Amino acid sequence: MACGCYVYAIVPQGAPIPPRLGGFGGPLTTVPCRALAAAISVVGASEVPPAPENLLRHEAIVEALRRHGPALPVRFGTVLPSLDAVVRALAERYALLTADMDRLADKIEFDIAVLWDPTHAVAAQRRDAEAPDLAAAALGPGTRYLSARLAAQRREDVLRSRAVALARALDAELLGAALESRHHVLPTPRLAVTAAYLLPGARAGAFREAFASARRAHAGERLLLSGPWPPYSFVTAATEACHPPPRTGANGGQAADAATVWPYGG
């Protein structure tokens, strides 16, 4: 059976592994590269299935490492084929990793999801379009198809415009308690915005208060808060990939070569 190195986090070299902290396949250990190290365990397969219990276990291990010192979280399912591949990945991204360690090691992330009823958001536009739609019904099938496509595009434009305005409003209400934000606008018609906010741990209470105020201000939508989490959404590789916030899914977990883009972050 092929083996691989499952990577949980990037830590300073010499960082302690919490006692009795076991990973997938066996105990945790570290693989050093200059001033950094990867916290890993050896697994007996090229991937770890993205089952809920595995996602929770990965998250718990990252949290345990961060309680004992600085640590950059690595995306669930990251498996490199050998110890040498881990060292190469650390060496090739050393400057990015050390910069992110300085910037993020003591930070946390809160995630927000905004649910809405898309029919309410486009109700006025739909009423304005009813008369033209009735007229188009008397035309040929090709014209009716094009008219329907145009109406659907207009509805999409209305939803996206309102979702962008909502994301900007959330920033105005929440960035006083946070340092940075990342957004994914309209991932589905019913999910208006997903957002991640970066902040020092000491500001967690202030951020929760700001969120409670924002939720009251947007009573027409359903705002959901989760966290605090490790700052998955703000590591450089994740930002460059423009990925959505983590923990609702996972990558395929295929064993990667060190030449692959280092998959730390969410």
pLDDT attached to residue 235: 87
Write down the domain spans for the chain: 4-106, 108-241
Are 227 and 207 within 8 A, CB to CB? no
Q: What is the pLDDT of residue 173?
A: 95
Confidence at residue 247, expressed as pLDDT on a 0 to 100 scale: 43
Q: What is the pLDDT of residue 266?
A: 41
This prediction's pTM? 0.74
Structure confidence at residue 143 (pLDDT): 67
Compute CA distances 163 → 92, 121, 196, 226, whole Å: 38, 9, 15, 20
CA distances from 50 to 24, 58, 143, 199, 261 (A): 12, 10, 46, 28, 21
From 160, 149, 159, 169, select the one nearest 124 (Cα to Cα).
159
- How high is the pLDDT of residue 147? 60
Look at residue 255 in the predicted model and tell me its pLDDT. 35
pLDDT less than 70: residues of the chain: 1-2, 46, 120-139, 142-153, 237-266
Q: Rounded to whole angstroms, how far apart are CA atoms 78 and 196?
A: 22
**What local confidence, expressed as pLDDT, does residue 170 receive?**
96
